[in-house]
Amino acid sequence: MRKSLDEMSLEELWQLFPVILTDHKEEWETWYGEEKANLEHILSSGTVERISHVGSTAIGKIKSKPIVDILIEVTPGTDMGEVRDILCENGWICMSQSENRMSFNKGYTEQGFAEKVFHLHLRYSGDHDEMYFRDYLNDHTDIAEKYEQLKLSLWKRYEHDRDGYTEAKGAFVRKYTDEAKKEYGSRYDKKLYLIGGPMGVGKTTVGQILKRSLSKCVFLDGDWCWDMDPFQVTEETKRMVMENICTLLNNFLHCTAYQNIVFCWVMHQQKIVNEIISRVDTEKCRIVKISLVCTEKALRERLAKDIEDEVRKVDVIGRSVNYLPLYHKLDTVKIDVSEKTAEKTAEEIIKTADIL
């Protein structure tokens, strides 16, 4: 009778799962995309800050083990044990765990490797050296070629000793990870602030203050993306504004001139927040989700002043008040601005982002 994986010794496992190097395959990116979608489905969006494709299968053109490495960064303070349990209930095997890190695999069977094989690295936000190494080698093809030659020289010597293979590459990986950090600095520490709230609560004013308070900051108001006359809300215009918003946000996220991107819009439904997050490139940023709320009395007073100043029309009051209770159902941090100035609200948002 064939042994189960749990019954096998380390040497037996290494014989069953040898180090294999193959030519780069475009399908690896597809495998990653499919598995990322699965992970986003089973894990809470409030827990996961970023999912990234790392390892050699994410480095163009070089030979690699046909195993897709996935890095998940979760919000500090997250109970990793709960995340582990969810992953294990969905086909992942926990291979190692410590206080701040866990590793999992999928695609290892008693018969050997399955068609698709994955390694998953679970970390707290900011523990992402693999991203520096990946991007440095993609940007410096000569270093990527040296890495490939190193791996080829080690392959047969460590074919049945994966720990030895990994250790033998360690000095190279550490050297160019350090070079990457010097070159890229804090490129993965960008923040995308998604600030929602009913009309009149003060989102735009707060956003403008954040733009002046945060370093290398850009501000976008969602209403600017469909400021039109006549104003029409149809399925076509709703698709258009979402496309406009996500295109602009991605352009700002990809621009090295900016470190903080502040976006405000009504965003009164979870599906709106989720769609924006799903359509922007979050791999190189942290997302800070905020809802500005207040009492109905405070909202009516603010709207009344806007109407008096001819900034808004009277019909906005009913719509805005009806939206107010919806924000308490969202997966966001709620900030009650009833008795706060815009400056104090901006300060609280910055403090919130620092501790998330």
Confidence of residue 38 (pLDDT cuts 50, 70, 90): very high
* Cis before 198 (ω within 30): no
Query: pLDDT at residue 186 above 90?
Result: no
Check residue 203 and give its pLDDT.
Answer: 97
pLDDT one-digit tens code per residue, 162-179: 999 999 999 999 999 999
Higher-scoring residue by pLDDT: 1, 350: 350
Residue with more model confidence, 2 or 244: 244
pLDDT of residue 286: 84
pLDDT at residue 46 in the model:
67
Selection from 27, 30, 351 nearest residue 193 by Cα: 351
CA distance 59 to 66: 12
* Residue found by looking up tokens 């995309």 in the block: 33
**E strands in 75-156:** 93-97, 101-109, 112-124
Q: Which of 267, 25, 61, 276 is nearest to 148 (CA)?
A: 61
Mean pLDDT of the chain: 93
pTM equals 0.69
What percent of the chain lies above the pLDDT cut of 90? 81
pLDDT the model gives residue 1: 66
Span 310-328, average pLDDT: 93
Average pLDDT for 314-334: 95
Q: What is the pLDDT of residue 189?
A: 79
pLDDT at 336: 98
- Does position 349 have pLDDT exceeding 90, yes or no? yes
Q: How far apart are CA 58 and CA 32, in angstroms?
A: 9
pLDDT value of residue 213: 93
Domains of the chain, first to last = 5-184 (3.30.460.10), 187-355 (3.40.50.300)
